[in-house]
């Protein structure tokens, strides 16, 4: 894994953690402004995913089954463990789950990475709410496996035409069911952006370092300045800046301007675990904070925001070392560091 992308994965996961802090703060009585643009960490993940799928499978023929195996091993075990924990709590300790209710189809769909209406909220989300992004990721992986059957030079064009066609279909014939609504969302265009970044990375000429810094700064500035976007415009208003950020980081990487920082590399390795478990950590922190009456302390909300963020990241790192890496090592028979960096 490129160091620059590891750092971006770490940043993206922490952005999402901070975005979801607002849910707990509202339960403590806070009704003020919150940076909704932090949700764009998801868009950054999608761009990186599209990039990695193209680059890591470039020039590989007959790779579909190996690709599926690696993706399933990388994503499924930890996600199923956390989903099972949520299901157990919803059934046997419902008071501990603040945003869930056990419904059979919703649970089954969650395990299968299929979109389903949430039983509590008016959204299409699985049992582990942040897992809605994994439903898109798994759809992308499923399609990309078939794309790998094509000649190398046609793959980027094929995925672009297919995903753009799905979005166009949804625009021309507004879907009335959950499945089609989900799979024709404009957000899947962000995977195309990532793939196109991969094409540039493989074939493009070197770019001056100052341009890399410019794109990186401009991308973050544009993305974080837009506090609210619609579902239709998200791929443009957050997706394009996210693509610029990734391009800028890769320009710096190619120029040798990216230094290695083990701590941030670790957070990049643990970004998947952080993303999956942060909801549990935030909820637990919020309930503990309220029960101890710490909300009423001077600066109690600010202190909670700091402590809950640190606790969520720490929980993700612990899960990464105690569950994710051992599972990857067991299922791939690779050293933990290599297993953690599987594309």
Are the CB atoms for 42 and 188 separated by under 8 Å?
Answer: no
Strands (DSSP E) contained in the chain are none
Are the CB atoms for 116 and 109 separated by under 8 Å?
Answer: yes
- Residue with tokens 């302390």, as numbered in its chain: 297
- Residue with tokens 């069911």, as numbered in its chain: 177
pLDDT score for 335: 46
Kindly state the tokens that stand for 73.
């091993």
Neighbours of 129 (CB within 10 A): 19
Residues β-bridged to residue 152: none
| Domain hosting residue 125, numbered range | 3-340
Q: Which residues contact 14 (CB under 8 A, 6 or more apart)?
A: 41, 267, 274, 309, 313
Mean pLDDT, contiguous 10-residue spans, the chain (343 residues): 94 98 94 96 98 96 95 96 94 80 94 95 93 97 98 97 98 93 97 98 92 98 95 97 98 94 96 96 94 92 97 98 94 56 39
Whole-model pTM: value is: 0.94
Kindly state the tokens that stand for 106.
């919703």
Q: How many domains in the chain? A: 1
- Residue with tokens 């998801």, as numbered in its chain: 42
Percentage with pLDDT > 90 across the chain:
90
Q: Which residues contact 97 (CB under 8 A, 6 or more apart)?
A: 86, 89, 90
pLDDT score for 334: 58
Are the CB atoms for 38 and 16 separated by under 8 Å?
Answer: yes
pLDDT tens by residue, 255-300: 999 999 999 999 999 999 999 999 999 999 999 999 999 998 999 9
Question: Would you give the end-to-end CA distance of the chain in angstroms?
Answer: 8
DSSP 322: I
């Amino acid at each position: 894994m490129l160091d620059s992308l590891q750092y971006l994965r770490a940043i993206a996961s922490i952005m999402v953690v901070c975005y979801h802090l607002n849910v707990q703060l509202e339960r403590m009585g806070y009704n003020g402004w919150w940076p909704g643009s932090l949700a764009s960490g998801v868009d950054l993940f999608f761009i990186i995913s599209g990039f990695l799928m193209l680059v890591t499978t470039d020039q590989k023929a007959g790779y579909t089954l190996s690709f599926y195996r690696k993706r399933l091993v990388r994503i499924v075990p930890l996600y199923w463990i956390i989903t099972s924990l949520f299901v157990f709590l919803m059934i046997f300790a419902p008071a501990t789950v603040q945003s869930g209710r056990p419904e059979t189809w919703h649970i089954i769909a969650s395990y299968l990475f299929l979109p389903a209406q949430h039983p509590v909220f008016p959204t299409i989300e699985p049992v582990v709410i942040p897992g809605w992004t994994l439903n898109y990721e798994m759809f992308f992986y499923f399609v990309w496996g078939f794309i790998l059957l094509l000649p190398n030079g046609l793959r980027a064009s094929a995925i672009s035409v297919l995903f753009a066609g799905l979005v166009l279909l949804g625009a021309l014939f507004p879907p009335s069911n959950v499945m089609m609504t989900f799979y024709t969302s404009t957000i899947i265009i962000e995977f195309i952006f990532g793939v196109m970044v991969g094409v540039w990375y493989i074939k493009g000429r070197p770019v001056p370092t100052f341009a890399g810094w410019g794109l990186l700064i401009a991308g973050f500035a544009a993305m974080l300045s837009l506090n609210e976007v619609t579902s239709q415009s998200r791929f443009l208003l957050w997706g394009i800046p996210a693509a610029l950020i990734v391009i800028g980081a890769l320009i710096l990487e190619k120029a040798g301007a990216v230094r290695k920082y083990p701590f941030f590399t670790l957070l990049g390795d643990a970004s998947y675990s952080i993303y999956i478990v942060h909801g549990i950590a935030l909820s637990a922190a919020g309930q503990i904070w309220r029960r101890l009456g710490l909300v009423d302390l001077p600066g109690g909300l600010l202190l909670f925001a700091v402590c809950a963020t640190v606790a969520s990241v720490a929980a993700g790192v612990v899960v990464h070392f105690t569950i994710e890496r051992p599972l990857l090592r067991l299922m791939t028979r690779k050293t933990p560091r290599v297993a953690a960096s599987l594309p």
